[in-house]
Amino acid sequence: MTFQDIFKSSFLENINSISLFDMVLSLALAFGIGMLIFLIYKKTFAGVMYSSSFDVTLVALTMITTLVILAVTSNVVLSLGMVGALSIVRFRTAIKEPLDIAFLFWAIAAGIVLAAGMIPLAVFGSVVIGLLLLIFANRKAHVNPYIVVLRCEDHNSETAAVDFLKTQVQKCVVKSKTAQPGSVELNVEVRMKDDNTDFVNTLAEMQGVASAVLVSYNGDYMG
């Protein structure tokens, strides 16, 4: 082995495997699509507490995925090593909102498609997904389910309150009932006809009704 052979390696030969223009274009597009995902996430967020670090993660994840796939597509041997390296990575962060998983996969998929050279697919697909999310997220608030918590004194007041509630909402389903001596508590899922919530005031003023509470409900939490 000569002195020149020591510095001759596949590592140095791979420096020019990806052109500078391809790198700049891919990362710039990844940043643009990542910002689109960030804006859609910010617009459609409907969880309990907004995390500013998560939307930055979406932009970074798109660019990182593009960077990794660019390296993998330029070298078959590297792709095998990358699979082995990534297989030992474990993420322990809990995803609180189910929709957040969709945004994470969206960012990863956009990065993969961009790095594969399918730029029209990445751009068009991201725009379509973003529009669909905006359409479904901007539904009227009264379409979403609500929970009415009623505390009544006896069976007669309970019946009167439920009958009145059925006339004021589009859908009314009793989810749970707790009966104690001198007190009956009901959790009723309702779908309102419009944004008017004055019927709760009327419920609270009915004879035999101790309290009436209206809370939003998404199946996982109340707030």
pLDDT digits (tens, 9 = 90+) for 161-208: 888 888 888 888 888 888 888 888 989 888 888 778 888 888 888 888
Q: Which burial class, exposed, middle or buried, applies to 109 when counting CB atoms under 10 A from its CB (0-12, 13-18, 19+)?
A: middle
Predicted model pTM: 0.62
CA 60 to chain centre: 17
- What local confidence, expressed as pLDDT, does residue 128 receive? 93
Q: Distance (Å, rounded) from C-alpha 216 to C-alpha 223? A: 6
Q: Distance (Å, rounded) from C-alpha 59 to C-alpha 63? A: 7
- What local confidence, expressed as pLDDT, does residue 35 receive? 93
- Domains of the chain with bracketed CATH: 3-87+97-137 (no CATH), 141-216 (3.30.70.260)
Within the chain, which residues score under 50 in pLDDT? 1, 3, 6-8, 142, 220-223
Dihedrals phi, psi of 147, to nearest 5 degrees: -115, 130
- What local confidence, expressed as pLDDT, does residue 3 receive? 47
